[in-house]
Structure 1
Amino acid sequence: MGSPQTTGRQPAAEVSLLAGAPLPEPGPANLAEALHQAARRRSDPAICHIDGSGNESWSSYGELLDEASRVLGGVRRAGVRPGERVLLRLGRERELLAAFWACVLGGFVPVPVASQGGPGPLEAAWHTLHRPWIITDTVTGTLLPGPAEGPRAHWIGPVDALGGGPAGPADTAPTPGAGHDVAVLVLTAGSTGAPKAVMLSHENVLSRSAGTILANGVGERCVTLNWMPLDHVSGLVMFHVRDVVAAATQIHADKEWVLADPLRWLDVMDRHRVNIAWAANSAFDLVSSRVEAEPGRRWDLSCVAYVMNGGAPVKARTIRRFVANLAPYGLAATVIRPGWGMSETSSGVVDHRLDARLLDEDARYVPVGVPHPGVAVRVVDEDDRVLPTGSLGHLQVSGPTVSRGYAGAEELTRHAFTADGWFRTGDMAFVEDGALTVTGSVDDLIRQGGLLCHGHEIELLVGELDGIAASSVVACTVEGGGLAVFCALADGTDTGAAVRRVRAAVGARFGLAVDHVVPLDPADIPRTPTGKPKRARLRALLRGVRTDMQLIHHHHALDATTTADAVRELADRQEIVDALHRFALGRDLKDPALFRSAFTPDAEFDFRPVGVRIGLEFPPMHGVDTIAAHVLAPDVDLDTSHTVTNCRVRHDGDEAGLTALVEAQHLPGADHSRHLLLKNVYDVDLVRDDRRWLMRRVRVANLWFTGDPQVILGR
């Protein structure tokens, strides 16, 4: 398919408007009824969680209902009332589902929060949503700020305590909402903007589930595979809730476990005879590269009927390559279905059925298809007038799957809808040959004079150049209107030559001038859970580099003299500080692997100055094994929380120094009425280990303390 027309008019009858088939009544009146129906329809194990070690645990819909009913009782006893919001930050996905459905059963409004990283996102959501209740694990709960009206005062406990264990009493008197009542708030920042809380009602979620079940033949006999976190709309609504409504068998694999070896995705498909799956464009490329490197595997993928390709721009070359690589294993050429959706539409609502063998490998865009039953889309101009087919314009959507707006953001909600009730998606698109093609977001659009293209088009081009790491490229406009290309260079690549190749290729293909080429490590490119780059963060990074470089001659903020060097140095500084954070979080989570990842094998840890200050004696520790054995001693029942602040980095090649303040709170595990609170100064020497930094020597001194020093010994 070629580029859309931007000029010329067509007959009025050929307008850019597509409507799905009529949507029958979704069936269940609310989500709670959908779970009850699934439990009645199936008693066998139908929900599988694959954890970060590859271990599988199975449960039935009845067991999920029972677990949720027990948690519901605990939430009610904590004083939560119907309609009130509850933040859910839970790393164990089975616990997350129990808490989510407990909220649904009780008529509370669950708000899933990403479980990666520290409690910062949880605190930000708490303030944004005006002090909701919180369900999270014990370690995270104790890390929350603790004033009388702060987040910790609204923490009602971990899931196991609320549910009372396997023998806890079940609350069998649900009071769920229905229809237009808000069923869940979805936090989304996308790739460009600030976090927003999307309100999804029971009608929204059930209509979306019913539509995709009809459009894609999802049923009780289907086996589905998802590896998006269940705190994301794609994992929770697009897969889990849809499969509850369909009473399908659903498998949820840990995302990092899959990404550590993308062929595990195919292993699970083969082992469990998966029919329906999902992946973003970048994941298809990862799998293809691994299959090409390891031929001769023994999969039977003839069971796969439908793999949605969404969450990021779809590339014809990627689809053709994936299907060609997996055809010898029985994968049909028609299983990949590009699609489109967003949090505000309750996830994917447009699908396209195609034969990958017929795609033009050099096609600029791939259609995403036709709307699900009940959904309509249109493409309009700047004044919301529907355009002729083939014309590039703004994509709008309507139907029962569309959210009514954003919680606590009336002005944002008002601007999101047209006068006649259509939702402004922020994407550019065109309609041609009866199918919708989404070219990219408005914020991704790059204009220079009369020329325009999307950043993802530049990213595809640059990613194919010699010396550029595939799937590492991000292109966007930056402050002042210039074009920046962020990318990772392959080992041994000459930076100057790579910069020249990037500028020449973009100029030749699109006629655009590249103002900045910024080499970055792939790990330093921020992305959304679906793999889309967070361009706003990269713009801020480049703006920060410029500011720091302006200070070089006066304040020596950085040693770098070029943008690329400054970005690398900033990334190093972030990794240097991260080593201390890994130590602190590893101690708080009692996670030996995370804790040990902060140290060199021969590290030294000197806590003696603190001992002198608090009247105890601590010998110096040598070697990471000794340090871990003492600090994480299994016979010392101690809950801790560490807060790292005021970091100062000294950086010289492959060695670095770090000074920081660390506030450490210690509580006996069995008696939180006693404590020891330390304000310490950490003086750390570090060495580079490939992309990360490791602590080689740590010396800790104390500024002040309160409480009982014997607590630190577990007494």
Structure 2
Amino acid sequence: MTTASPPARRPAVSHGGELPADPQHPRTLGAALRRAARDFPDAGIRVVAEDGTDTLLDHATLLTRARAVRAGLRARGVAPGSAAILRVDSGVDYWPAFWGCALGGVVPLTVGAPAGYDADSPAVAALLHAWRALDAPVVLAGAADAAGLAGLPLADRVVDVAELAAAGPAGAAAGRAAVDPAGASADADVEPGPDEVAVLQLSSGSTGTPKIIPLTHRGLSEYAVGARVLLDVRPGDVLLNWLPLDHVAGLLLYHLGGVFLGASSVHVATGLVLADPTRWLDLMARHGVTHGWSPNFGLRLVADAVGRAPGGRRWELGGVRRMVSGGEQCLPETFRAFVAATGVPAAAMTPAWGMSETSTGITFGSFTEPGCRQVVRTASLDGDVEWVEDAAGGDVTELLSVGRPAPGATLRIVDADGAVQPEGRVGRVQVRSARVTPGYLGDPEATRAAFPDGDWLDTGDLGYLRDGALTVTGRAKDLVILNGQNIPCHEVERVVGAVAGVRAGLVAAVGVPDARTGTEALVVFAVTDAEGGHAVAPADPHATTGSAAERVAGAVSAAVARRWQLAPRRVVILGGRRPAPFPAAAVAGEDHPSRALGS
């Protein structure tokens, strides 16, 4: 049964309500850490290194060490309002460096770990671009990072974090120290205004040179309010992140928000989980985690790893209240597989949407609530949406609603001319909130393009509203145009992920411009467990011979041809059982837009 959108519909505008009045809620990063050290002394951050060792920095110790770094920055003449780039691999060194910047009024920009320091590395190019755009700021480095940075043009601006800490008060760099958050050393903390810039983020650069995204103290403070209201983050909770800290969700959602709200956080080296995804579950059980998160690919990694593990292991994870998923399309089948494999309650599964520009997640849904799971006619996703009763039969797509906006935020859906659409019609997703970036640093052209109508941020996402809740259907530019057909990349990836022999979640579909035809060619990349190495070929949809990888490539081509009546120009099959090549790229953020949570 099909349910079409009714002829009379309300405008697609959804307001998250007013921010709750709370005079005790901190308005700046420094105020948040000082309050956490005073009011929540037993909470803090636990850093789990790649070798499995862990170190606890309670909030008081973190404040003391951060003040040592703050003093070191000041001794080197780094003035309040300056920027600092952080390339610190060790979490034990990173967090005091980050907070030392915040307490000194210095604005930190965290950059990802490059695979190497070669000049043609995209991560190195992004680092150098940011350094030049910020007028050659100081670069804070960990011991493991200094050697690689020494070969770059910014070498004379590199400072070892340990040296900064040594320049602070004696003994502050090591051990737990008794600290009075309001004591004499607090007088040296810089207290910026709420509308001043607190942190800088880099966009992924997937569409060109990465943009520098400033986020204000007010934006971070209001994000924390949203996490308290929509995610029920509260004192005593434990948040866990295993994604790199240049990812806005790992930094804001699973640490800064916790400091504002009196929660603890566990930060795990990414490599430790990628090497064995079940370690994520071990750590959640060991530390009593109440809130976790992962993009869809991470949920799938875990579900697959549990399925391969002998003995049918189970974990006691009933205490997980929220498992947020975003950063790429939230797939219902992945949610179901993750719940079945791990024991995380289905009610905890939380599809979410947001981006660096919105100070991370700004809408949160709930997997088990009515209206979250939506089955729609695929052909209707370029206009008025048609819902169907179930996914059986017909050309349908199953989507997950990512929920309503946080307090203080408003969403709307507009057409290409900026006219507000009715609910139930697909259009461009725009958002307005004090959490939204004021614009891209040093890039007025990009700022004008992102804010075509005053303070409404055009996110570049496509979606629709139903009863005020957002469902994201794709990216405005995340389409392959084949013979005049607009085909969403994520829909190709969903179809290919269901092919036998393909690792679901480890698929990428891209369009390659074809100057001869004026259209695009579809190229599909996929990881397989099948033996037989790699296959790169114009895949024959009728292939039944050749290597296992070639047969998988043929099956992929056949599945796409059945769905869209055309075959991919190329299917690239990556053999082998280790999933690292695809997740590592996704983790690094080099292949994704700046959106951090959502589809």
Q: Same fold (TM over 0.5)?
A: yes
Q: After superposition, what is the alpha-carbon deviation per residue over 1:132-176, rounded to whole angstroms, capped at 9, x for unaligned?
A: 1111135644544689xx512222x21111111883569541113
List aligned pairs for 1:161-200, cutoff 5 A. 161-164=163-166, 167-168=170-171, 172=186, 173-189=188-204, 191-200=206-215
* Structure 2 partner of 1:482: 521
Q: What letter is aligned with 2:414?
A: V
Please identify, of 250-259 and 172-181, the stretch whose mean Cα deviation from structure 2 is larger: 172-181
* Structure 2 partner of 1:303: 319
CA distance in 2, matches of 1:467, 1:456: 19
Q: What letter is aligned with 1:534?
A: D
TM-score by length of structure 1 reads 0.69
2:329 to 313, 320, 330: 313
Question: Displacement, 1:17?
Answer: 1.4
* Structure 2 partner of 1:128: 133
Structure 2 CA distance for partners of 1:376 and 1:530, relative to 1, 3 Å: farther
Question: Displacement, 1:393?
Answer: 1.0
List aligned pairs for 1:199-598, cutoff 5 A. 199-294=214-309, 295-327=311-343, 331-355=344-368, 359=373, 362=391, 363-449=397-483, 451-480=485-514, 481-489=520-528, 490-492=530-532, 493-494=547-548, 496-520=550-574, 524-525=581-582, 529-530=586-587, 534=591
CA distance in 1, matches of 2:498, 2:549: 16
Structure 2 CA distance for partners of 1:324 and 1:467, relative to 1, 3 Å: closer
Question: Displacement, 1:435?
Answer: 1.7
**Does the 8 Å contact 1:109/1:184 carry over to 2?**
yes
Q: After superposition, what is the alpha-carbon deviation per residue over 1:534-562, rounded to whole angstroms, capped at 9, x for unaligned?
A: 279xxxxxxxxxxxxxxxxxxxxxxxxxx
* Structure 2 partner of 1:66: 64
* Structure 2 partner of 1:160: 162
CA distance in 1, matches of 2:10, 2:561: 35
Question: Displacement, 1:122?
Answer: 3.2
Secondary structure (helix, strand or coil) at the match of 1:214 reads: helix
CA distance in 2, matches of 1:51, 1:526: 19
- Structure 1 gap segments, 5+ residues each: 537-715
CA distance in 1, matches of 2:564, 2:592: 20
List aligned pairs for 1:681-700, cutoff 5 A. none
Structure 2 CA distance for partners of 1:482 and 1:59, relative to 1, 3 Å: same
Structure 2 CA distance for partners of 1:123 and 1:451, relative to 1, 3 Å: closer
Structure 2 CA distance for partners of 1:259 and 1:336, relative to 1, 3 Å: same
Question: Displacement, 1:502?
Answer: 2.3
List aligned pairs for 1:32-47, cutoff 5 A. 32-47=30-45
Secondary structure (helix, strand or coil) at the match of 1:478 reads: strand
Please identify, of 73-82 and 208-217, the stretch whose mean Cα deviation from structure 2 is larger: 208-217
Aligned length: 526
- Structure 2 gap segments, 5+ residues each: 118-123, 174-184, 376-389, 392-396, 515-519, 533-546, 594-599
Larger-Rg structure: 1
* Structure 2 partner of 1:21: 17
CA distance in 2, matches of 1:343, 1:528: 18
CA distance in 2, matches of 1:371, 1:266: 30
1:56 to 54, 65, 79: 54
Q: What letter is aligned with 1:237?
A: L
CA distance in 1, matches of 2:494, 2:334: 10
Structure 2 CA distance for partners of 1:452 and 1:365, relative to 1, 3 Å: farther
**Does the 8 Å contact 2:586/2:592 carry over to 1?**
no
CA distance in 1, matches of 2:143, 2:50: 20
Question: Displacement, 1:118?
Answer: 3.5
Question: Displacement, 1:312?
Answer: 1.0
Structure 2 CA distance for partners of 1:10 and 1:445, relative to 1, 3 Å: farther
Secondary structure (helix, strand or coil) at the match of 1:413 reads: helix
Please identify, of 70-79 and 169-178, the stretch whose mean Cα deviation from structure 2 is larger: 169-178
**Does the 8 Å contact 1:323/1:356 carry over to 2?**
no
Question: Displacement, 1:449?
Answer: 4.5
Please identify, of 250-259 and 464-473, the stretch whose mean Cα deviation from structure 2 is larger: 464-473
Structure 2 CA distance for partners of 1:453 and 1:16, relative to 1, 3 Å: farther
Structure 2 CA distance for partners of 1:533 and 1:23, relative to 1, 3 Å: same
Q: After superposition, what is the alpha-carbon deviation per residue over 1:605-645, rounded to whole angstroms, capped at 9, x for unaligned?
A: xxxxxxxxxxxxxxxxxxxxxxxxxxxxxxxxxxxxxxxxx
Q: After superposition, what is the alpha-carbon deviation per residue over 1:282-333, rounded to whole angstroms, capped at 9, x for unaligned?
A: 1111211222233432421111111001111011111112223334xxx322
Secondary structure (helix, strand or coil) at the match of 2:190 reads: coil
Q: After superposition, what is the alpha-carbon deviation per residue over 1:17-68, rounded to whole angstroms, capped at 9, x for unaligned?
A: 1111211356223110111000011222521111101111112101111001
CA distance in 1, matches of 2:289, 2:259: 16
Secondary structure (helix, strand or coil) at the match of 1:471 reads: strand
Secondary structure (helix, strand or coil) at the match of 2:481 reads: strand
* Structure 2 partner of 1:629: none
Q: What letter is aligned with 2:524?
A: V
Secondary structure (helix, strand or coil) at the match of 2:135 reads: coil
Q: After superposition, what is the alpha-carbon deviation per residue over 1:56-85, rounded to whole angstroms, capped at 9, x for unaligned?
A: 111210111100101111101111111111
Structure 2 CA distance for partners of 1:504 and 1:397, relative to 1, 3 Å: same
Q: What letter is aligned with 1:130?
A: D
Q: What letter is aligned with 2:269?
A: D
CA distance in 2, matches of 1:43, 1:274: 18
Question: Displacement, 1:512?
Answer: 4.2
Question: Displacement, 1:101?
Answer: 1.0
**Does the 8 Å contact 2:296/2:505 carry over to 1?**
no
Question: Displacement, 1:108?
Answer: 1.1
List aligned pairs for 1:636-651, cutoff 5 A. none
* Structure 1 partner of 2:106: 108
* Structure 1 partner of 2:379: none
Structure 2 CA distance for partners of 1:468 and 1:151, relative to 1, 3 Å: same
Residue identity (%): 36
CA distance in 2, matches of 1:303, 1:506: 41
Structure 2 CA distance for partners of 1:138 and 1:270, relative to 1, 3 Å: closer
Q: After superposition, what is the alpha-carbon deviation per residue over 1:508-539, rounded to whole angstroms, capped at 9, x for unaligned?
A: 22344422223345655586554877279xxx
**Does the 8 Å contact 1:526/1:534 carry over to 2?**
no
TM-score by length of structure 2 reads 0.82
Question: Displacement, 1:415?
Answer: 1.1
* Structure 2 partner of 1:30: 28
Question: Displacement, 1:255?
Answer: 1.2
CA distance in 2, matches of 1:190, 1:314: 22
Please identify, of 18-27 and 167-176, the stretch whose mean Cα deviation from structure 2 is larger: 167-176
Structure 2 CA distance for partners of 1:98 and 1:245, relative to 1, 3 Å: same
Question: Displacement, 1:456?
Answer: 1.4
**Does the 8 Å contact 1:282/1:531 carry over to 2?**
no
CA distance in 2, matches of 1:377, 1:530: 28
Q: What letter is aligned with 1:301?
A: L
Question: Displacement, 1:344?
Answer: 0.4
Indicate yes or no: 2:73 matched with 1:75: yes
Q: After superposition, what is the alpha-carbon deviation per residue over 1:218-263, rounded to whole angstroms, capped at 9, x for unaligned?
A: 1112111111222321111111100000110211111110121111
Structure 2 CA distance for partners of 1:466 and 1:257, relative to 1, 3 Å: same
**Which structure has the higher relative contact order (CA within 8 Å, separation 6+)?**
2
**Does the 8 Å contact 1:527/1:533 carry over to 2?**
no
**Does the 8 Å contact 1:89/1:122 carry over to 2?**
no
